[in-house]
Amino acid sequence: MSSPIRYYYDLMSQPSRALFIIFRLSNMPFEDCVVALRNGEHLTEDFKQQINRFQRVPCIHDNGYKLAESVAILRYLSAKGKIPEHLYPKYFVDQSRVDEFLEWQHMSLRLTCAMYFRTVWLEPLLTGRTPSEAKIETVRMHMERNLDVVEEVWLEGKDFLTGSALSVADIFAACEIEQTRMADYDVRIKYPKIRAWLKRVRQSCNPHYDVAHEFVYKISGTGPQAKL
């Protein structure tokens, strides 16, 4: 008899939140294995040997099979029939359009939103030093170059990133963008399409979206409805 997937995650991590929402929306049972990144639980030798050789989250254990990298995990579970087709298409042409987004985001949206978050929120917290205005301006500019592409290219003429309905692409993207709230960035001011799209993504994913973002809302002090 097979056990449920063991899911190692921390809701402070963007791809951890994305998979959490996707698993919940998919009604996929999983064993909750919370890893407290803030306590360095992923940095021990034991974690490296037993859980994930890359010492990161998210990752899964499926009856002994260990897999890391959120997008690889999503595809693996989709192939096992655990993810509904409307979230990640099975027809290869439709799937390629979602894949195109999932591959695009790493070095563009994800990288630059994470850099903004790290520079403005995380590093000051860890080091006690405030970043210079020039540094903040640079990371904001890099991030906004990619938000421009989301607004003008991905959301051009459609309600969701890869079509007329929600897919995993929207969930991964929203989790990256929500992270910047904690660094007091409000994406809704400059980007009306992203603003309306984020509302749609949240509505399509709730109650799981709000559960996953509870800590983000708390830190940012804005609450889920703020400025929406």
**Beta carbon of residue 97, minimum distance to a copy of itself (angstroms, whole number):** 8
**Beta carbon of residue 23, minimum distance to a copy of itself (angstroms, whole number):** 16
Nearest Cα neighbor of 102 from 171, 27, 20, 194 is 171
Looking at the Cβ atoms of 133 and 156, the one nearer to a copy of itself is 156
Looking at the Cβ atoms of 53 and 86, the one nearer to a copy of itself is 53
Looking at the Cβ atoms of 37 and 71, the one nearer to a copy of itself is 71
* DSSP 3-state of 34: strand
Number of other CB atoms surrounding residue 91 within 10 Å: 8
Looking at the Cβ atoms of 169 and 212, the one nearer to a copy of itself is 169
Nearest Cα neighbor of 52 from 66, 31, 62, 35 is 66
What span, in angstroms and rounded, lies between the C-alpha atoms of 202 and 71?
A: 20
Residues near a copy of itself, by CB under 8 A: 53-54, 65, 67-73, 75-76, 79-80, 92-93, 95-97, 99-100, 102-104, 106-107, 110-111, 149, 153
**Beta carbon of residue 214, minimum distance to a copy of itself (angstroms, whole number):** 26
Looking at the Cβ atoms of 141 and 153, the one nearer to a copy of itself is 153
* DSSP 3-state of 149: helix
**Beta carbon of residue 12, minimum distance to a copy of itself (angstroms, whole number):** 17
**Beta carbon of residue 37, minimum distance to a copy of itself (angstroms, whole number):** 16
**Beta carbon of residue 85, minimum distance to a copy of itself (angstroms, whole number):** 15
Bridge partners (DSSP) of residue 6 are 31, 61
Q: What is the DSSP string of 89-146?
A: -SSHHHHHHHHHHHHHHIIIIIHHHHHHHIIIIIHHHHH-PPPPHHHHHHHHHHHHHH
Looking at the Cβ atoms of 55 and 222, the one nearer to a copy of itself is 55
CA angle 187–34–126, rounded 5-degree value = 55
